[in-house]
Protein backbone atom coordinates (compact mmCIF):
# COMPACT_ATOMS: atom_id res chain seq x y z
CA UNK A 1 0.00 0.00 0.00
CA UNK A 2 1.33 3.39 -0.92
CA UNK A 3 1.65 5.76 2.02
CA UNK A 4 0.24 9.26 2.15
CA UNK A 5 1.95 11.00 5.08
CA UNK A 6 -0.01 13.80 6.76
CA UNK A 7 0.42 15.78 9.95
CA UNK A 8 -1.56 14.77 13.04
CA UNK A 9 -4.32 17.38 12.77
CA UNK A 10 -4.90 16.53 9.10
CA UNK A 11 -5.09 12.86 10.01
CA UNK A 12 -7.71 13.56 12.71
CA UNK A 13 -9.84 15.44 10.16
CA UNK A 14 -9.48 12.64 7.57
CA UNK A 15 -10.43 9.92 10.09
CA UNK A 16 -12.98 11.58 12.35
CA UNK A 17 -14.11 14.71 10.51
CA UNK A 18 -17.28 15.14 8.47
CA UNK A 19 -15.54 14.25 5.20
CA UNK A 20 -13.68 11.04 5.97
CA UNK A 21 -11.04 9.91 3.48
CA UNK A 22 -11.26 6.19 2.75
CA UNK A 23 -7.47 5.81 2.52
CA UNK A 24 -7.20 6.77 6.19
CA UNK A 25 -10.58 5.51 7.42
CA UNK A 26 -10.95 2.13 5.73
CA UNK A 27 -11.19 0.05 8.91
CA UNK A 28 -13.94 1.66 10.94
CA UNK A 29 -13.48 -0.73 13.88
CA UNK A 30 -10.12 0.94 14.61
CA UNK A 31 -11.92 4.23 15.18
CA UNK A 32 -14.63 2.98 17.54
CA UNK A 33 -15.18 4.59 20.93
CA UNK A 34 -14.05 2.62 23.99
CA UNK A 35 -17.53 2.16 25.44
CA UNK A 36 -18.48 0.00 22.47
CA UNK A 37 -15.99 -2.62 23.68
CA UNK A 38 -17.48 -2.60 27.19
CA UNK A 39 -21.15 -3.07 26.30
CA UNK A 40 -23.30 -6.03 25.36
CA UNK A 41 -26.02 -6.16 22.69
CA UNK A 42 -28.49 -4.51 25.09
CA UNK A 43 -26.09 -1.61 25.67
CA UNK A 44 -25.25 -2.67 29.25
CA UNK A 45 -21.74 -2.24 30.65
CA UNK A 46 -20.52 -5.81 31.16
CA UNK A 47 -17.36 -5.19 33.20
CA UNK A 48 -17.09 -4.26 36.86
CA UNK A 49 -13.78 -2.41 36.59
CA UNK A 50 -12.08 -0.30 33.93
CA UNK A 51 -8.43 0.50 34.42
CA UNK A 52 -7.08 3.72 33.00
CA UNK A 53 -3.68 4.21 31.44
CA UNK A 54 -3.08 7.36 33.47
CA UNK A 55 -3.51 5.22 36.63
CA UNK A 56 -1.89 2.11 35.23
CA UNK A 57 0.26 1.26 38.24
CA UNK A 58 -2.55 1.54 40.80
CA UNK A 59 -5.13 -0.05 38.52
CA UNK A 60 -2.85 -2.96 37.66
CA UNK A 61 -2.15 -3.48 41.36
CA UNK A 62 -5.91 -3.62 42.02
CA UNK A 63 -6.38 -6.22 39.26
CA UNK A 64 -3.32 -8.19 40.39
CA UNK A 65 -4.68 -8.46 43.94
CA UNK A 66 -8.23 -9.22 42.79
CA UNK A 67 -6.97 -12.10 40.61
CA UNK A 68 -4.31 -13.20 43.08
CA UNK A 69 -1.47 -12.74 40.61
CA UNK A 70 2.21 -12.41 41.47
CA UNK A 71 3.42 -10.99 38.17
CA UNK A 72 4.36 -7.36 37.86
CA UNK A 73 3.73 -5.05 34.94
CA UNK A 74 6.92 -4.38 32.97
CA UNK A 75 7.46 -1.03 31.29
CA UNK A 76 8.70 -1.86 27.80
CA UNK A 77 9.48 0.44 24.87
CA UNK A 78 9.45 3.56 27.04
CA UNK A 79 9.25 6.76 25.04
CA UNK A 80 9.56 10.42 25.84
CA UNK A 81 6.33 11.61 27.42
CA UNK A 82 4.44 14.10 25.26
CA UNK A 83 1.46 16.19 26.32
CA UNK A 84 -1.38 14.98 24.11
CA UNK A 85 -3.17 18.34 24.32
CA UNK A 86 -0.26 20.00 22.50
CA UNK A 87 -0.88 17.79 19.45
CA UNK A 88 -4.38 19.17 18.75
CA UNK A 89 -5.61 22.48 17.40
CA UNK A 90 -9.06 23.95 18.20
CA UNK A 91 -10.68 22.31 15.17
CA UNK A 92 -9.40 18.82 15.96
CA UNK A 93 -10.28 19.17 19.66
CA UNK A 94 -13.87 19.79 18.55
CA UNK A 95 -13.79 16.85 16.12
CA UNK A 96 -12.52 14.41 18.77
CA UNK A 97 -14.88 15.82 21.42
CA UNK A 98 -17.80 15.07 19.10
CA UNK A 99 -16.56 11.64 17.98
CA UNK A 100 -15.79 10.47 21.51
CA UNK A 101 -18.39 12.40 23.50
CA UNK A 102 -19.71 9.24 25.19
CA UNK A 103 -16.22 8.14 26.27
CA UNK A 104 -15.27 11.61 27.48
CA UNK A 105 -18.42 11.84 29.59
CA UNK A 106 -18.38 8.27 30.93
CA UNK A 107 -14.69 8.30 31.88
CA UNK A 108 -14.76 11.93 33.11
CA UNK A 109 -12.10 13.08 30.67
CA UNK A 110 -11.40 16.64 29.59
CA UNK A 111 -9.09 18.17 27.06
The winner for highest mean pLDDT among 6-10, 46-50, 85-89 is 46-50
- Tell me, what's the pLDDT at 22? 72
How does pLDDT run across 30-85, given as a tens digit for each residue? 678 899 999 999 999 999 999 998 899 999 999 999 999 999 898 888 878 778 88
- Tell me, what's the pLDDT at 89? 94
Angle (nearest 5°) at CA 44 between 43 and 45? 120
Question: From CA 93, how far away is CA 81, in angstroms rounded?
Answer: 20
The alpha carbon dihedral of 79, 83, 84, 87 has a sign of: negative
pTM higher than 0.85 for the full model?
no
Amino acid sequence: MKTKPVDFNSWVKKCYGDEKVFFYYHRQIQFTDQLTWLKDEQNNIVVDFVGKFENIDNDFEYIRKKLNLNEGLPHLNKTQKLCYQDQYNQETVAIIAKAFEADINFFNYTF
